[in-house]
Chains A and B, each alone.
Chain A
Amino acid sequence: MASIAELTPKETPTWCPGCGDFTILSSLKNAIAEAGLKPEETVIASGIGCGSKAPHYVKTYGFESLHGRGIPAATGAKLANHKLNVLVVAGDGDTYGIGCNHFMHTMRRNLNMTFVIQDNAIYGLTKGQTSPTSQQGFKSNSTPTGVLEEPVNPVRWAIIAGATYVARGYAMDINHLKELIVGALKHNGMSVVDVLQPCVTYNKVNTAPWYNERVYHIKDHNVKDKEAAMKLADNEWGDKIPIGLFYHEKDKPTYEEGIPQIAKQPLKDHDISNVDISKLLLKYK
């Protein structure tokens, strides 16, 4: 198990002071430490965005891929070496916009990976455009008269698509968020933590005070009940916003478990020095 100091590299974050990404980062590092992941056996993949710089700020292996492509890159790494702890950390634009196709399909695969989404309902890095989670009517430089579409409901999407651990956290509730991520890391299957994140520079609607007034910890909810989880995700967004674990399905087989080729050892450790193909060539004689 690594200490927080061991998980902290020399690089310092370039985020705006007060950005929710800072607190998400510290919850993430605390969770990695608490869940006992070895840094060298952990990969954090990301996309492109403010939040996607996170791999540079945690001393584990990291892969900062392309906008929206953190999930497939992570999937490739996981299948190459399923002994690794693989996480994806990316923004809401990255995940529910450009990378949405990967998001939906990855949920139904149920790989044993953890996905933390820094959901600030805005495109931060490109300086303040509307995101798929921006509220209807939200005004931004790309939607000066307000967004016409209804927003994506990440919790509902994740559950419908087949994720087996689905939670919503809040960046400023550091300890609670850490607990959710620890739970996600310990879960054997696809875990998703959508994190409500203030962007102090570009999102002047969903600010920390706005969230502080609204968020409450989920209580008296049966996390095994899919329907109840979806109802909770659907009905409560506005004056009251539930945070915590919505859905947890424990015994669904993972994708990796369905691949006998890697049952004995990860692909990475297969001997490729002299593959015997003589039997294969018989087919062509």
Chain B
Amino acid sequence: MSRIVNKFSWKVGGAAGDGILNAGLQMFAKTCLRGGLQVFATAEYPSLIRGGHNNLDVHVCAEPVHSHTKDTNLLVAFNKETIDKHKHELTEGAGVIFDGDNVKVEENEFDKKVRLYPVPLLKLANENGGKVMRNTVALGATMALLDFDMTIFNQVVSDNFLKKKGQGIVDSNIKAAKAGFDYIKSTQKEEFGWKLEKQERENNLFMSGNEAIAAGAIKGGCKFYSAYPMTPASSVMINLAAQERNFGIVVKHTEDELAAVNMAVGAAFAGVRSATGTSGGGFCLMAEGFGLANMSETPIVMVEAMRPGPGSGMATHTSQGDLRFLMHVSTDEAPRIIIAPGDIEECFFRTIDAFNLAEKYQMPVIILTDKFLAESYATAVEYDVSNVKIERGKLMTDAEAAKETDYRRYRITEDGISPRAIPSQKGAIHVASSYEHDEHGNECEDEDNRVAMHDKRFRKLDNADKDIDRPKTYGDGDLNILSWGSTKGPVLEAQKLLEKDGIKTKFTHVVFMSPFPTKEMTDLAKDPNLIIVENNKTALFAGMIREHTGLEIERKVLRYDGRGFAPEDIHKGVKEILNGKKEVVFSRHGITRSE
């Protein structure tokens, strides 16, 4: 049988706290990246520090890859639980690396033909630097099965550890990997069915959604980030904090989310680009501050990485359940821009947009992600930032402010946007207020003023609507698929699977959720065969389309078990719908409801 080259899916699993996620990401995935391959990696881990089950999927391809896959070609299992949990995901001929000294597995436990590779992981680790080296031994064994170039791996190890831990740690990792490599080579009877080969690389990056958002914030001129840790948003703060001295940013871990949002507002009022970030629970506490930013027309960026709720929900899992909440959060009606990027490139560039839009339209901008996007890693061609512009809208210069004789911070203008002055500027002293106010910013409860001000604030949104990217389409075919935010990758991969079955699809993906893309959604929702894909129970976006267009989308593929879609789910769901079903719901076990 000829070997499959550069299309491979690896999974590693074990107890939380064993460092397997890091090893997989920082060593295995990076080695693939350096070998010129495209990688997508996503981890599943419990909200615990030790114990519990962790696993990481790494999907490696020659061509761009947008998602993990349900299929596993090689499973590295640090315990029996990993095998029991994931054996059904193994493909025909897949391999299982495990510690034969500790774990007993028989071939007849599997429903397909698999190859078992018992490797004395712990023993080899102990001989080469100690128990922590188990991960590295397993990586060496993986490299051996794939016949992948160890020189790249060794270089990655050195880059990883030399500065932080010294040459000694580099050497023992290289030795441990070699021990795993050699063990496979000396015991292996047949060739493994998959192989990775180096290819000419483009200048690729490998990063998570949150890392891309942090990098976008830095490029976008963010100078102040105040936040309170909450999974899965925390790593935006952590990544920015790591860079604060390199880029002259102040990152403040505040006493709570109330402080986080209000500090960001205060900093923006004083003239810097500022942001905050949290998950749904924290955003509940930020609701009033969001309204303050709205009413005082202070530009801030707010990152919301969703996780399943309500309440504390499932901290380390994913959901698209906060869409409605964010569409309406705040007292009364308040205009807002909501951006839901679909991949890491969009996380980077749309974050830069967010800072520009916030200042141009003087309103809060929300970047809406979820655990699946925020904490999944993918390859992207190095960002071309040559076209990035920093647009500060109607922020006045000191000279412009000095010329003012009757400065009105909330001047009623045609586009709703008023020239904005900041403290330290002579000639434009004013009070910004969370109360309804007149043009000068003085509290005002007059009816006509109220209407004029409320209209003015909403006019900004009408203008923003002309300024933002429209929904994009991918592929072409008679069958329309629609999704928003983080489901983009799995849908793109599902399109490939459908195409193999001869089903050609046109996929529309929405990033700008507010201002609402009414025109495009009206055109699309008129198609009675349209299928919407959402990572929630009640198809929130479909509900919004009904609200804005009066059109009902009946065909839905949904998942709300806290996990992201695999492309295979969407592939299957679409086929169910083509067979006459309307609503298909997935979980780990496949379809859980189809009616």
Interface residues, chain A, with chain B CB atoms under 8 Å away = 11, 39-43, 45, 48, 53, 55-56, 59-66, 68-69, 71-81, 83-84, 101-102, 104-105, 259-262, 267-268, 270, 272-275, 277, 279-281, 284-285
Tell me how many residues of B have a C-beta within 8 Å of chain A. Answer: 68
Please tell me if the beta carbons of A76 and B268 are within 8 angstroms of each other in the complex: yes
Interface residues of B in 232-260 (CB under 8 A from A): 243-250, 252, 254-256, 258-260
Taking the closest CB of chain A, its distance from the CB of B37, in whole angstroms, is: 13
Complex partner residue of A64 from B244, B263, B429, B433, CB under 8 angstroms: B433
Q: How far, in Å, is A207 (CB) from chain B's closest CB?
A: 28
Q: Is the CB of B288 within 8 A of A66?
A: yes
User: Taking each of A11, A43, A48, A72, which has the highest tally of chain B beta carbons within 10 Å of its own beta carbon?
Assistant: A72
Contact of B551 with A by CB under 8 A: no
- Asked if A72 contacts B263 (CB within 8 A), the reply is yes
- Contact check, A43 vs B435: say whether CB atoms are below 8 A apart: no
Partner of A81, one of B296, B423, B442: B423
B555 part of interface (Cβ distance < 8 Å): no
CB-CB contacts below 8 Å: B252-293 with A:
252, 254-256, 258-260, 262-274, 288-289, 292
Would you give the shortest CB distance from B459 to chain A, in whole angstroms?
Answer: 24
| Contacts A63-B431, A275-B219 supplied; 13 other A-B pairs, CB < 8 Å | A66-B262, A72-B259, A72-B266, A76-B226, A78-B266, A80-B266, A80-B269, A81-B272, A81-B423, A268-B271, A277-B215, A280-B218, A281-B382
Query: How far, in Å, is A262 (CB) from chain B's closest CB?
Result: 7
Cα of A64 to Cα of B266 in the assembled complex, Å: 10
Q: Which residues of B contact A280 (CB under 8 A)?
A: 215, 218, 243, 246-247
Best-buried of A84, A101, A275 by chain B (most CB within 10 Å) = A275
**Are B255 and A102 within 8 A (Cβ)?**
yes
Contact of B250 among A63, A259, A281 (CB under 8 A): A259
A81, A279, A285 interface centre (most CB from chain B within 10 Å): A285
Compute how far the CA of A265 lies from the CA of B248 in the bound complex, rounded to whole angstroms: 10
Given A73-B265, A285-B205; A261-B429 close (CB under 8 Å): no
Residue of A nearest to B433 (CB): A64
Query: How distant is A77 from chain B, measured CB to nearest CB, in Å?
Result: 4
A284 touches which of B205, B218, B246, B424 (Cβ 8 Å): B205
**Which one, B33, B224, B288, B385, contacts A267 given CB within 8 A?**
B224
Known: A41-B424, A281-B215. A59 touches B442 (CB 8 A): no
Determine if B542 is an interface residue (Cβ-Cβ < 8 Å): no
- Complex Cα distance, B421 from A62, in Å, reads 12
Contact of B422 among A101, A105, A261, A268 (CB under 8 A): A268
Q: Provide the B386-424 mask, 1 if CB < 8 A to any CB of A, else 0.
A: 001010000000000000000000000000000000111
Q: Is B64 an interface residue (CB 8 A)?
A: no
Q: Bound complex: CA of A130 vs CA of B223, how far in Å?
A: 41
CB distance from A225 to the nearest CB of B (A): 29
How many interface contacts (CB-CB < 8 Å) are there between A and B?
A: 197
Contact residue among B248, B256, B263, B383 (Cβ-Cβ distance under 8 Å from A76) = B263
Q: Residue B464 at the A interface, CB < 8 A? A: no
B269 touches A281 (CB 8 A): no
B382 closest partner in A (C-beta): A281
B421's nearest neighbour on chain A, judged by CB, is: A61
A65–B259 Cα distance when bound, in Å, is 12
Nearest to B377 among chain A residues (CB) is A284
Q: Given A69-B292, A273-B390: A77 and B258 within 8 A (CB)?
A: no
Partner of A60 from B258, B425, B429 at Cβ < 8 Å: B429
* A101→B292 contact, CB < 8 A: no
Q: Do A268 and B434 touch across chains, with their CB atoms under 8 A apart?
A: no
CA distance A212 to B360 in the complex (A): 54
A83 contacts B424, CB within 8 Å? yes
Which chain A residue lies CB-closest to B252?
A79
Q: Which residues on A sit within 8 Å (CB–CB) of B441?
A: 62
Bound-state CA distance A53–B218 (Å) is 36
User: Which 8 pairs show the lowest CB-CB distances between chains A and B?
Assistant: A76-B266, A272-B221, A62-B431, A73-B266, A76-B267, A80-B270, A76-B263, A72-B262
Question: Chain B residues with Cβ under 8 A from A66's Cβ?
Answer: 262, 288-289, 292, 434
> Are B429 and A267 in contact (CB-based, < 8 A)?
no
Are A61 and B224 in touch, CB under 8 angstroms?
A: no
CB distance from A223 to the nearest CB of B (A): 28
B333 contacts the other chain (Cβ, under 8 Å)?
Answer: no
Expressed in whole angstroms, the Cα–Cα distance for A268 and B274 within the complex equals 11
Q: Are the CB atoms of A65 and B267 closer together than 8 Å?
A: no
Q: Are A77 and B221 neighbours in the complex by a CB distance under 8 Å?
A: no
The answer to whether A268 touches B265 (Cβ under 8 A) is: no
CA distance A263 to B384 in the complex (A): 32
Q: A43-B423, A61-B423 are in contact. Are A261 and B244 (CB under 8 A)?
A: yes
**Distance of A58 from chain B, by nearest CB (Å):** 9
| Alpha-carbon distance A185/B302, docked complex (angstroms) | 33
Minimum CB–CB distance for B233 against chain A, Å: 18
B455 interface residue, CB < 8 Å from A?
no
Closest to A40 in B: B426
Chain B proximity of A266: nearest CB distance (Å): 8
19 contacts between A and B (CB under 8 A): A11-B442, A62-B431, A62-B441, A69-B289, A73-B262, A75-B252, A76-B226, A76-B262, A76-B267, A77-B269, A79-B263, A80-B266, A84-B424, A105-B255, A267-B223, A267-B248, A268-B223, A284-B211, A285-B205
Q: Is A61 touching B430 in the complex (CB atoms < 8 A)?
A: yes
Closest chain A residue, CB of each to CB of B428: A40
A69 B262 Cβ-Cβ under 8 A: yes
CB of B540 within 8 Å of the partner chain: no
Chain B residues within an 8 Å CB radius of A272: 221, 223, 273, 390
| Closest CB in chain B relative to A172 CB, distance in Å | 27
- Whether A80 and B207, one on each chain, are in contact in the complex, defined by CB atoms closer than 8 angstroms, is no
Contact partners of B433 in chain A: CB under 8 A: 56, 62-64
- Known A79-B224, A277-B385, A281-B383: A64·B424 in contact at CB below 8 Å: no
CA distance A273 to B424 in the complex (A): 21
Nearest opposing residue in chain B for A85, CB measure:
B423
In whole angstroms, what is the CA distance A43 to B252 when docked? 21
Query: Which A residues are CB-close (under 8 A) to B254?
Result: 72, 105
Which residues in chain B, 198-218, are within 8 Å of chain A measured between CB atoms? 203-207, 211, 215, 218
CB pair B248–A261 under 8 Å, yes or no, is yes
- Bound Cα distance from A76 to B426, whole angstroms: 21
A96 smallest CB distance to B (angstroms): 15
B443 at the interface (CB under 8 A from A): yes
B250 to chain A, nearest CB (A): 5
Cα-based distance from A40 to B421 in the complex (angstroms): 11
Tell me if B432 counts as interface (CB < 8 A to partner A).
yes
Beta-carbon nearest neighbor of A270 in chain B = B248
Most buried by B among A71, A73, A84, A104: A73
Are B248 and A284 within 8 A (Cβ)? no
Say whether, besides A63-B269, A281-B383, A41 and B423 are in contact (CB < 8 Å). Answer: yes
Whole-angstrom distance between the alpha carbons of A83 and B244 in the complex? 20
B493 to chain A, nearest CB (A): 22
Closest approach, in angstroms, between the C-beta of B152 and any C-beta of chain A? 13
Which residue in chain A gives the minimum CB-CB distance to B216?
A277
> Which chain A residues border B266 with CB–CB below 8 Å?
45, 63, 65, 72-78, 80
Q: In the bound complex, what is the Cα–Cα distance between A64 and B441 (angstroms)? A: 10
Q: Pick from B33, B252, B271, B431: contact of A55, CB below 8 A.
A: B431
- A81 contact set on B, CB distance < 8 A: 270-272, 423-424
Nearest CB in chain B: distance from A75 CB, A: 5
A71 and B427 alpha carbons, distance in the complex (Å): 26
| B270/A76 in contact, CB under 8 A | yes
What is the CA–CA distance of A53 and B434 in the complex, to the nearest angstrom? Answer: 11
Query: Is A65 a contact of B265 with CB atoms below 8 Å?
Result: yes
> What is the CB-to-nearest-CB distance from A279 to chain B, in angstroms, rounded to a whole number?
8
A80 to B273, CA, bound (A): 9
Instruction: For A271, give the chain B residue with the smallest CB separation.
Output: B221
